[in-house]
Structure 1
Amino acid sequence: MQHAKPAMAGLAVLAFTAACSPSQPSDTNQDNMALQAFPAVTDADGYVDTNFSATYRDHLRTLASDEFEGRAPGTRGEELTVDYVRSVYEQAGLVSMTDDTYTQMVPMARIAPSRVTNMQFSGADDSNEFSYRQQMMGWTQRITDAVEVEDSDMVFVGYGIVAPEYDWNDHAGLNVEGKTVVMLVNDPGYATQDESLFNGNAMTYYGRWTYKFEEAARQGAEAAIIIHETGPAGYGWGVVAGGSPVRFSLKTDDLNSHRAKIEGWVTEESAQTLFNHVGMTLDEARERALSSDFTPIELNRQMSMIVENEIEFFETANIIGKVEGSLYPDEHVIYMAHWDHMGTDPISGAIFNGAQDNASGAAALLSLAEAFGQGEQPERSIVFLMVGAEERGLLGSLWYGEEPLLPLDQAVAGINMDMQNMYGPMRDFVVVGWNNSDMQDVAAPFVAAQNRYLAPETNPETGFFYRSDHFSLANKGVPMLYAKGGIDHFEKGKAYGREMYEYLFAELYHKPADEYDPKWDLRGMQQDLWVYFRVGYELANTRRWPQWAPGNEFEAERLATDHLRQD
C-alpha cells in the first residue's frame, strides 16, 4: 500500500494544525470565525475542534436560501446557482473545461402524462383490469405523444436478471420480443438472505428496478412490469403510486425508442390474480424464481394499455471546474455532488430549499474546490463535478457518464457527497456500498487518525449505493466512495444519532422543512471534509489505481480499461 505524501507546504487554506480542545458550538458565532480548515490530528477525545472553513457555512446558507427558490432545473433558481458556483470556481482559480463557462449543458425532456388507461387483461376464459394508482402504475420513458400496447402476451421472468458474474440468466432460451414481462423486485440474495447468493441481504445493481426495466428493453420486451413488495422494494405502495406521474429523461437522438413502450408496477395482491390463471400462487412463483435454472412462466394473459403525453424540452447544467495535474493531467480524481432540489410548489408557493439534500454536499464540494484550487498543484488533475437533475433521476450525472469532459478510463476514482451530517461529531464513517471497492481502504487510515471507525450502512437491502449520482460513474467502471458521518455521536451516543437520522427522513426529507439551521453542529462536517480532502490528495499524488472488489458488477468495466493507463 502506498502512503500519502506530507501535507502541501503552500496550502494556506488548509493549515494542518493540531486541533484545539473541543467546545460546544454557539448558534451563529461560527460564521465569523477565522478561516481554519481541517486539522490533521485530533484531541484525546478523538474529534476535531469547532473551527472549520468559514466558507462552508456561507456556501450552505446561501444555496439553501429562499432567494435560490429551491434550485429546480430550468428555473431562476438554477441560474442563481450556476452563477454562484461559477464565481467560487473562478475565485479558487479552477480551470473551466467548457469555454470559460464552467457549464456542461444537459438536454432534458419533461414527459407529463395527459391520459393513462387502466391496465387491461384478456385471456381464454375472461378479462379484467387493474386500476391506475390503486392497483397499478404505468408510464412511458419514450419521448413521444402516445404509446399503445395491445394484446401483448405476458410472461413471468422471475427476477428479470442477466448477471454473468453470478452465473444467472432469467431470460435464457426465451424470446420476449413484443411481450410483457412480469418480474419480482430486488434479487435472490435478499429473498434467501444467503450470503453466497448474489450479495445476500445487500442489494446488488441487479435488484434495482431501474436495471430491470433496462434489461427488459434489451431483451426486446414491449412492456415491463415489476411486482411491488414493501420489504424487498424498501418502500410502500404509496411511494410508487402517490408521487407525481411526471417523468424526466435525457433528450437523446433516439428519443428513448430503445426503452420498452410501457414500464410500471402492480401491487402484490393484483399480481396474485395473474398467477391464479395458471393455477399457481405468488409464493410458488417466488420459490421457482430462486432457482438458477428457473424457467419462465407463460401467464396465458394478454395486456393492453395506452399512455398519452405532453412533452417539453429544456436544458439544465452540470457545473464543472478542474485543478490541472502537473505530471498526469489526463488522469483525474473526481469530487461530485448535486446542486439541484425540488423548487417551489406551484399551488402553495412553499419553497423546497433542500438544505441537507443537497446544499450540504454542494457546499462541501465548493469548500474542497477552494482548498485544492489555492494549494500547490497536484500530480494528477482534480475535477469538481457539480451535477444537475439528480432529483429528476440522476440525469445530470448520467449525461456526464455518457459525455465526460475527460476520458473515464483515465478517472482514478471519485468521491460523492450527498446529504451530509449536520448533527455533530460522529465516531462512525458509514460506507454506502460496503466492500464494493478498495476506496474504503484508501479512506481507512484517515478515518482512524480521527479516532473513528469505518462502518457499513445499516440497510443495504434498500440499494442506496445505486440511488445517488456516483452510480452513473460506477456504471462506467470508476470506483466511487460514498461515505459520511453516521449515528455514533462522540458525546451523545448512538441513540441521539439514530434519533436525528430518523427525524431527518421523517420530517425534513423532500419537504419544505429541509431548511438551513444556524444551530447545526458542523463539527462532524469538518471531520468528513478532512477525510474527503485526504483521500483525494492521496489519489492525486500517488500512482494508486483503486479497483472494484472481485466479482463486483462493475469490475469488468474497470478491468477493460487497465491497458490504457500509465503505471
Structure 2
Amino acid sequence: MKPLIISAVALAVLTACGPQQSEQKTTTEQTSAEKQPADLTGSAFNPNFRDYLKTIASDEFEGREPASAGEEKVVSFIENHFREWGLKPFDKEKDSYRQPFPLVKIMPYKVSDMSFSGENAPETMNYRTEMMAWTMQVTEEVDLSDSEMVFVGYGIVAPEYDWNDYEGLDVEGKTVVMFVNDPGYATQDPELFNGNAMTYYGRWTYKYEEAARQGAAGALIIHETGPAGYGWGVVAGGSPVRFDLKRENNNMDRAKIEGWITTESAEALFAKQGMTLEDARKKALDKEFEAMPLNAQASVSVKNKFEFLDTNNVVGYIEGTKYPEEHVIYMAHHDHLGTDPVREDDPIYNGAQDNASGTAGLLAIAEKFAQQPAPERSIVFAAVGAEESGLLGSAWYADHPLFPLAKAVGGINMDVMNVYGPMKDLVVVGYGNSEMDEYVKPFIDEQDRYLTPNPTPEAGFFYRSDHFNLAKKGVPMLYAKGGNDHITKGKEWTEEQRAKYVAEAYHKPADEFDPDWDLRGTQQDLSAFYQLGRSLANSRDWPQWAEGNEFEATRKETEEQRK
C-alpha cells in the first residue's frame, strides 16, 4: 500500500488532540476521499519545498561557508521569507531575525611529530600518518614538553552508569590516553551503557572536554575504525583548519594538545608496558579499573595562525496564544563547506542534501504554520550556522536561546532529508532516547509507515548534529530522516543509493540539486514533523527522556523552572 498523506480535514482533527488521542482515531473514521496516496509531483505538504531546495543549493550561494558572501545570501533568503510570512523576529528591538555569533578560525601551519622520553618511551610518531595533533587554544604556539602519559581507559565520568575512569586520579599537566567509543560498544552488553549504541560518553568531543575538566595538558584518543565509525583517513586526510566559538578566555581552559594516535601507534605504546592493545582494553573494561602510568613523557608543538569572524543564526517564531514562553523548536543548519579554489572542475560544495534540504524543510514548515491559526504554545524556527565547523551555531543558540530552554517542550532537527522517494519507514536516530518517538508515531501510523532505529547506532550519529546541543540542555529532540524501506524498490535499492551518496557526494562538490529527485518522501516526513509540532504546541504535554538516559537528569532539573 502506498503511504498516505493526511488531508486538511484529517489534519485539523489530528492537530486538535495530543498523540494519545490521535492514536485512538482509526482509519475507518476517514472517508476514502480523505485518504489519498502520495502526490506524484512531490508537493503534497508544501509545493514550494522543491524551489527552496533548488535555490539554496544553487551555485549562487557559493557553498554557504560561515562568514562568507554565500552565507550572507542564504541568511538573507531565510530572513526575507520569515518577514514575508509574518514571523516575529529574534531581536525585536532591531527588528532582526539574525542572531550573530563570533567565531575563531584556527589554522595550524606547523605541527611537529610527537616524540617521547622516559623509561618506556616508544618511537617518534609521525604527524598525520601515525598521529594527529592540534590545539583549540587561541594562541600562536603551544608546546607540550615532557608531559607524563597516563592510560585512563575510556576517559569517562558517568555517574548514571556508575563509571569514573578518573576516580582518585590527578592528571594536572599530564597527557591522558584513552579508547574511543564506550564500554557498551566494546562488550556488546545491552546492560552496560547502551550496548552497541554509542552514548554521549563515547564521542571524541566529550573525551577531550572531560580531559580538560580534569586538568590534562594533552588528550590522545586511540583510533579504531569500528568503534570510531570511520577510518584514519577521515581523521588525518582533511584540512587541519578548525573553527570554534570566540570565547573571552581564548579556550585556555582546553587541553594544550588534543589528538588521535593510530591503532598501530597504540600497540607500540602498550608493548613498552609488556601489554597488547587487547590487554589494555580488558583492563579498561574492568569495573575495578585504575588508571595506569605509561612511564613515558610526550612532547609535541603546534604553531597557529587565527582570525576572528562573525556569522549568523536566523531565528523567527510564531507566538503562542496562551503560553508564549513554552515553545516547540524546529532546527536545521544552513551552512556548508563553501568553495575550494584549488579545484578547477567544480570548486563549489553546494551541500544540496547536506543541508539545503533541511533548511528548505524548515522553510516549508514555517510557511505552513504561518498560514494557520497560531497554536497555544510558540513555535520557534532556528536556521543555525557553522554546523559543519563543530555544531557551533546551535551551541551558541543553546547558550543564548530566544526563550528559556527550561520551557522548550521538545524539538525536531532536520539534517539531510530524503530525496529517494516515498518510504515505508521513518528512521529515528537515537531511537528510544526519549518520548518524542512515541509522540511522532501516530502521525507516521497515519501514513501507513513504521518507525525504525538507525541501523548503525554504534556510529553515534545522535551526537553529530545540531539537536545534540539542545539535548545537553535537557530538551527532548527528535532527529529522524527518510527511511530505508522504499515503497516499491525495497531496502536493498535504498541502501545502495545512500551508500552511493556517501561515497560520491557527501561533503564533496557532487552534492548538487538533481531535478530528477523524487521528493515525495520528504513531503511525507515534513507532514509528520509539522503535525507533531502542532500537536505538542496545542497540548499541555512535556515529553521526557527515557529513564536512565544521559540527559534525563538535566530535564528533571528544569521542572521547577517551568512552574
Smaller-chain TM-score bracket: over 0.9
- C-alpha deviation, 1:273, in angstroms: 1.4
- C-alpha deviation, 1:346, in angstroms: 2.0
Which residue type is aligned with residue 295 of structure 1?
Answer: E
User: Is 1:352 paired with 2:349?
Assistant: yes
Which residue type is aligned with residue 405 of structure 1?
Answer: L
- C-alpha deviation, 1:7, in angstroms: 5.9
Which residue of 244, 254, 270 maps to 2:265? 270
User: Is 1:250 paired with 2:245?
Assistant: yes
Assess if the C-alpha contact under 8 Å between 1:60 and 1:516 holds in 2. yes
Quote the residue 2:560 is aligned against. Answer: 563
Which residue type is aligned with residue 230 of structure 1?
Answer: T
Quote the residue 1:289 is aligned against. Answer: 284
Deviation per residue, 1:73-110 (Å, 9 max, x gap): 11110111111101110111100021222000110000
Cα distance 1:196–1:346, how it changes in 2: closer, same or farther (>3 A)? same
User: Is 1:90 paired with 2:83?
Assistant: yes
Superposition pairs of residues 482-501 of structure 1, within 5 angstroms: 482-501=479-498
Which residue type is aligned with residue 393 of structure 2?
Answer: G
Cα distance 1:196–1:126, how it changes in 2: closer, same or farther (>3 A)? closer
Superposition pairs of residues 358-377 of structure 1, within 5 angstroms: 358-377=355-374
Assess if the C-alpha contact under 8 Å between 2:120 and 2:296 holds in 1. no
Assess if the C-alpha contact under 8 Å between 1:93 and 1:374 holds in 2. no
Assess if the C-alpha contact under 8 Å between 2:99 and 2:312 holds in 1. yes
- C-alpha deviation, 1:560, in angstroms: 0.1
Higher mean C-alpha displacement, 208-217 vs 494-503: 494-503
Quote the residue 1:232 is aligned against. Answer: 227
Aligned to 1:362, what secondary structure does the other structure show? helix
Deviation per residue, 1:374-433 (Å, 9 max, x gap): 210110000000000001010000111111121111111000000000010000101000
Which residue of 499, 502, 507 maps to 1:505? 502
Unpaired segments of 5 or more residues in structure 1? Answer: 10-38
- C-alpha deviation, 1:506, in angstroms: 1.1
Assess if the C-alpha contact under 8 Å between 1:47 and 1:451 holds in 2. no
Deviation per residue, 1:140-169 (Å, 9 max, x gap): 011111111111100000000000000000
Which residue of 508, 528, 531 maps to 2:528? 531
Quote the residue 1:20 is aligned against. Answer: none
> Structure 1: how far apart are the matches of 2:35 and 2:425?
15
User: Is 1:387 paired with 2:379?
Assistant: no
> Structure 1: how far apart are the matches of 2:389 and 2:463?
15
Quote the residue 2:7 is aligned against. Answer: none
Identity over aligned pairs, percent: 60
Assess if the C-alpha contact under 8 Å between 2:311 and 2:385 holds in 1. yes
Which residue type is aligned with residue 536 of structure 1?
Answer: G
- C-alpha deviation, 1:201, in angstroms: 0.4
Which residue type is aligned with residue 394 of structure 1?
Answer: L
Assess if the C-alpha contact under 8 Å between 1:48 and 1:450 holds in 2. no
> Structure 1: how far apart are the matches of 2:120 and 2:484?
56
Deviation per residue, 1:343-397 (Å, 9 max, x gap): 1112125101000000000000001111112210110000000000001010000
> Structure 2: how far apart are the matches of 1:380 and 1:273?
58
Assess if the C-alpha contact under 8 Å between 2:99 and 2:315 holds in 1. yes
Which residue type is aligned with residue 13 of structure 2?
Answer: P
> Structure 2: how far apart are the matches of 1:130 and 1:403?
41
Which residue type is aligned with residue 154 of structure 1?
Answer: M
> Structure 1: how far apart are the matches of 2:499 and 2:418?
13
User: Is 1:432 paired with 2:439?
Assistant: no
TM-score calculated relative to the size of structure 2: 0.93
Quote the residue 2:256 is aligned against. Answer: 261
Quote the residue 1:80 is aligned against. Answer: 73
User: Is 1:400 paired with 2:393?
Assistant: no
- C-alpha deviation, 1:495, in angstroms: 1.6
Deviation per residue, 1:302-328 (Å, 9 max, x gap): 001111100100011000000001100
Quote the residue 2:22 is aligned against. Answer: none
> Structure 1: how far apart are the matches of 2:141 and 2:113?
15
Cα distance 1:63–1:40, how it changes in 2: closer, same or farther (>3 A)? farther
Quote the residue 2:53 is aligned against. Answer: 60
Cα distance 1:173–1:40, how it changes in 2: closer, same or farther (>3 A)? farther
Quote the residue 2:335 is aligned against. Answer: 340
Assess if the C-alpha contact under 8 Å between 2:15 and 2:538 holds in 1. no
Quote the residue 2:104 is aligned against. Answer: 109
Which residue type is aligned with residue 47 of structure 2?
Answer: A
> Structure 2: how far apart are the matches of 1:100 and 1:239?
42
- C-alpha deviation, 1:258, in angstroms: 1.1
Deviation per residue, 1:100-143 (Å, 9 max, x gap): 22000110000000211111110136663100001000000111
Quote the residue 1:314 is aligned against. Answer: 309
Cα distance 1:555–1:287, how it changes in 2: closer, same or farther (>3 A)? same
User: Is 1:543 paired with 2:540?
Assistant: yes
Superposition pairs of residues 202-217 of structure 1, within 5 angstroms: 202-217=197-212
Aligned to 2:282, what secondary structure does the other structure show? helix
User: Is 1:410 paired with 2:407?
Assistant: yes
Assess if the C-alpha contact under 8 Å between 2:120 and 2:273 holds in 1. no
Assess if the C-alpha contact under 8 Å between 1:122 and 1:128 holds in 2. no
Superposition pairs of residues 66-215 of structure 1, within 5 angstroms: 66-98=59-91, 99-124=94-119, 128-215=123-210
Unpaired segments of 5 or more residues in structure 2? Answer: 1-9, 17-31
Which residue of 439, 442, 449 maps to 1:442? 439
> Structure 1: how far apart are the matches of 2:258 and 2:159?
24
- C-alpha deviation, 1:491, in angstroms: 1.2
Which residue type is aligned with residue 176 of structure 2?
Answer: V
TM-score calculated relative to the size of structure 1: 0.92
Quote the residue 2:28 is aligned against. Answer: none
Root mean square deviation, CA, Å: 1.6
- C-alpha deviation, 1:452, in angstroms: 0.1
Deviation per residue, 1:166-190 (Å, 9 max, x gap): 0000001111111000000000000
> Structure 2: how far apart are the matches of 1:490 and 1:126?
58
Aligned to 1:317, what secondary structure does the other structure show? strand
